[in-house]
Amino acid sequence: MTPLEEIAAAMVRTALEHPGEPVKKPLKGGLWLIMRFKTTDWLLSLSRAEKPPSAGEVQICRAAFRVPEFAAQESATVGQYRIVRLSWGNTQLQIFQDGDTAARAVSGNYYLE
Residue 88: helix, strand or coil by DSSP?
A: strand
Domain ranges of the chain: 3-106
Q: pLDDT value at position 68?
A: 87
Q: Which residues are CB-neighbours of 103 under 8 A, at least 6 positions away?
A: 13, 16, 17, 111
Q: Which residue has the higher pLDDT, 39 or 68?
A: 68
Q: Under CATH, which number does the domain 3-106 receive?
A: 3.40.1720
| Global model pTM greater than 0.85 | no
- Over pLDDT 90: what percentage of the chain? 63
Q: Which residues are CB-neighbours of 2 under 8 A, at least 6 positions away?
A: 64
Give the tens place of pLDDT for each residue, 11-60: 999 998 898 999 999 998 999 999 999 877 899 999 999 999 999 999 99
Q: Are 39 and 64 in contact (CB under 8 A)?
A: no
Q: pLDDT value at position 110?
A: 44
Q: Are 85 and 73 in contact (CB under 8 A)?
A: yes
